Amino acid sequence: MNTVMAELGKKLADRWMGALLLPGLLFVATAVCGALLGHGAALDRTVLTEELGGLGERVATRPAATVLAASAALLAATASGFVVQALAVGVRRAWVARRPRRWVDRRRERARAAREREGAGGPERYLPARATDIGDRLRLVDERLDAQYGLSAALVWPRLWLLLPETVRPVISSAYARYQGSTESTAWGLLTLLLGLFWWPALAGGAALVLVGYYRGRASGAALADLVEAAVDTHQRQLAEALGIDLPQGRVTPAEGLRINDVLNKRA
């Protein structure tokens, strides 16, 4: 038990250091520089050097103040990390949101017009129905599985995850970690934008982080959706066998998919 607790504590410490403390300390340092410089001397290195030198001298002559300053910095960094994690949840929800309806309808009409120009076909259900490309790509996993197999991704995925081999799970977990990291990058950008209220360079830095996070989210979200869909494509038979559903055609068709949904939904 001591070994297990020690290993768990090490992993928690590593996560706290990497995900919360280090980015949080960088944010706190940026906030301090912004507060010292303000809009008037936003990029003045001389003013920054003088202000930091004076602040360091005042703290160095008071050991108690040094301890309090270091503790305050750590607490502020950790608090900002927790705020970012909460913001990241909001970012993920915003990326898959159905609103604003006018914006979603506009994206849908543009996609329909592009289809007509190219003479391409496709089901109406595959047209955009979310506020972002990321949300639509993740939504299409459910739509495509329903169209091909009659399966509900929300019902099937938790059960299928238990049947996936150990060689497959880490790949999907890694893809999800990259997607989650992109939402946290976007959240750091949003938090940095707030510093622009009193230090304008933070606006540029925050906007860059938001854009980088969004484009990383597009790539990682698409990769995650492809992996989830591929896992269902290649392991659908194991799920049917585990649930006792016969497959007359050797694979899941919409008829068997509806039966699987009914079993997983507890006949609801």
Each residue's pLDDT tens digit in the chain (268 positions)? 455 444 444 554 455 555 567 888 888 888 888 887 777 777 777 777 776 777 666 666 677 767 777 788 888 888 888 899 899 999 999 999 998 999 999 999 999 998 888 877 778 889 999 999 999 999 999 999 999 999 999 999 999 999 999 999 999 999 999 999 999 999 999 999 998 888 888 899 999 999 999 999 999 999 999 999 999 999 999 999 999 999 998 889 999 999 999 999 987 7
Q: How many CB atoms lie within 10 A of CB 54?
A: 11
Q: Is residue 126 assigned to a domain?
A: no
Whose tokens are 């940026």? That residue is: 30
Q: Is residue 73 assigned to a domain?
A: yes
Q: In this predicted structure, what is the pLDDT of residue 21?
A: 74
Q: Is residue 16 assigned to a domain?
A: yes
Q: What CA–CA distance (Å, rounded) separates 160 from 23?
A: 36
Q: What CA–CA distance (Å, rounded) separates 245 from 172?
A: 26
Q: What share of the chain is helix, strand, coil (3-state, %, to 5)?
A: 80, 0, 20
Q: In this predicted structure, what is the pLDDT of residue 4?
A: 46
Q: What CA–CA distance (Å, rounded) separates 121 from 91?
A: 32
DSSP summary character for residue 125? G
Q: Is residue 8 assigned to a domain?
A: yes
Q: In this predicted structure, what is the pLDDT of residue 8?
A: 44
Residue 259, token pair as written in the block: 């039966």
Q: What CA–CA distance (Å, rounded) separates 206 from 194?
A: 8
Give residue 242's identity as a one-letter amino acid code.
A
Q: Is residue 124 assigned to a domain?
A: no
Q: In this predicted structure, what is the pLDDT of residue 3?
A: 53
Give me the helix-helix angle, 63-95 and 201-243, nearest 10°: 60
Burial class (CB in 10 A: 0-12, 13-18, 19+), 85: middle
How many domains does one find in the chain? 1
Model's pTM, two decimal places? 0.84
Q: Is residue 153 assigned to a domain?
A: yes
Q: In this predicted structure, what is the pLDDT of residue 29?
A: 85
Q: What CA–CA distance (Å, rounded) separates 252 from 254?
A: 7
Q: Is residue 119 assigned to a domain?
A: no
- Expressed as residue numbers, the domain containing 151 is 2-96+132-264
Q: Is residue 103 assigned to a domain?
A: no
Q: What CA–CA distance (Å, rounded) separates 194 from 197?
A: 6
CA distances from 139 to 120, 129, 130, 135, 222 (A): 21, 8, 8, 6, 11
The answer to whether the bond into 128 is cis (omega within 30° of 0) is no
